[in-house]
Amino acid sequence: MSSSPDNYIPKSPVSIACNIEKTLEVLGGKWAFLILRELFGGTKRFGELQRSIPAVSPRALTSTLRHLEDKGVLERHVFPTVPVTVEYTLTPKGEDLHRIIKEMKLWAAKWT
């Protein structure tokens, strides 16, 4: 099948809505945005994330970090120290979310 502009068929609104749902599923709950905001600034340890987002419980932070790791948005690096050191870094997939979240922030600043 040729991919010339003459043969271009736009995606239906249903298809676009499904892609938005997929994105929201990757982002998960309310803590994901705040965690991503922190990780856009670079690699962070669990304690650093907890201090920078004081309202999140350790359980919710752990759950959200696991979700984001399962979705390929961040990587978890464990260092064999005593106590164990764990660092979280965004993957290229996670870094790609920066632009989207920045646009959401700009929209909120304008309209809320």
Nearest to 53 by CA among 109, 41, 103, 74: 41
pLDDT of 2 > 50? The answer is: no
The yes or no reply on domain 5-111 and CATH 2.130.10.10 is: no
In whole angstroms, what is the distance from residue 6 CA to residue 19 CA? Answer: 24
Residues 38-96: pLDDT tens digits? 999 999 999 999 999 999 999 999 999 999 999 999 999 999 999 999 999 999 999 99
Residue 83: cis peptide before it, omega within 30 degrees of 0: yes
Amino acid at 89: T
Residues 4-15: pLDDT tens digits? 555 666 666 666
Burial class (CB in 10 A: 0-12, 13-18, 19+), 24: exposed
Backbone angles phi, psi at 43, to 5 degrees: -60, 140
CB atoms within 10 A of CB 67: 19
Return the domain boundaries, the chain: 5-111
pLDDT at position 7, please? 63
pLDDT of 18 > 50? The answer is: yes
pTM, to two decimals? 0.80
CB atoms within 10 A of CB 112: 5
